[in-house]
């Protein structure tokens, strides 16, 4: 099955005083680099956010208007996927403990459902750590996604829940979140 990835790398990082958090390094690798490593084998890899210098080729796009939220960013990423792509990993770019095994487990869990999402230890679905059938996403994407909730839109789809391993669902919002 043709597999792609959409990495959401926008946001204002207001709790990090405007620092470009996806370029912060953890263990010698940027957070964005870690997200890109997690989707090894995906083609294409779409990064939604401002352009940055990377050592790998990706497709860059932005949500309209910039800063209009993760649903708008997801819609922008899906819009540039070629029609041959049937399945897409959707990841935030601020996940220090994400890896290829996470994406592999999510892909294996999709089955005949619309998608699979990671579930944190508190039982919360992590909408920015998932794998989805592209056709299912295209069916539910709102005409105007700006400011819309991922939970409200994606939560209507049949999905599998995959339990997160230790620290796997952690994201970086503040300096204290960095491992």
How high is the pLDDT of residue 10?
Answer: 86
Classify 83 as helix, strand or coil. coil
Our measurement of the distance from residue 89's CA atom to the centroid of its chain's CA atoms, rounded to an integer in Å, reads: 7
Give the predicted TM-score (pTM) of the model.
0.94
How high is the pLDDT of residue 55?
Answer: 87
Which residues in the chain come in under a pLDDT of 50?
Answer: none
| Number of neighbouring beta carbons within 10 Å of residue 54 | 15
Strands (E), 40-175: 45-48, 59-61, 87-92, 115-119, 125-133, 159-163
Per residue in 53-101, pLDDT (tens digit) is 898 999 999 999 998 999 999 999 999 999 999 999 999 999 999 999 9
Answer yes or no: are the C-beta atoms of 117 and 125 closer than 8 Å.
yes
How high is the pLDDT of residue 15?
Answer: 57
H or E element, residue 171: none
How high is the pLDDT of residue 49?
Answer: 94
């Amino acid at each position: 099955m043709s597999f792609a990835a959409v990495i959401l790398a926008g946001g204002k990082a207001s709790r990090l005083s405007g620092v470009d958090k996806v370029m912060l390094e953890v263990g010698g690798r940027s957070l964005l680099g870690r997200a890109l490593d997690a989707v090894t084998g995906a083609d294409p890899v779409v990064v939604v956010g401002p352009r940055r210098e990377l050592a790998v080729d990706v497709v860059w796009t932005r949500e309209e208007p910039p800063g209009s939220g993760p649903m708008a960013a997801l819609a922008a990423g899906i819009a540039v996927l070629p029609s041959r792509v049937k399945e897409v990993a959707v990841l935030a770019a601020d996940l220090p403990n994400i890896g290829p095994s996470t994406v592999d487990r999510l892909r294996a869990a999709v089955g005949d459902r619309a998608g699979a999402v990671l579930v944190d230890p508190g039982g919360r679905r992590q909408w920015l750590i998932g794998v989805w059938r592209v056709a299912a996403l295209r069916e539910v994407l709102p005409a105007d996604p700006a400011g819309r909730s991922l939970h409200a839109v994606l939560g209507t789809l049949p999905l599998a829940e995959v339990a997160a391993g230790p620290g796997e669902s952690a994201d970086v919002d503040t300096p204290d979140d960095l491992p």
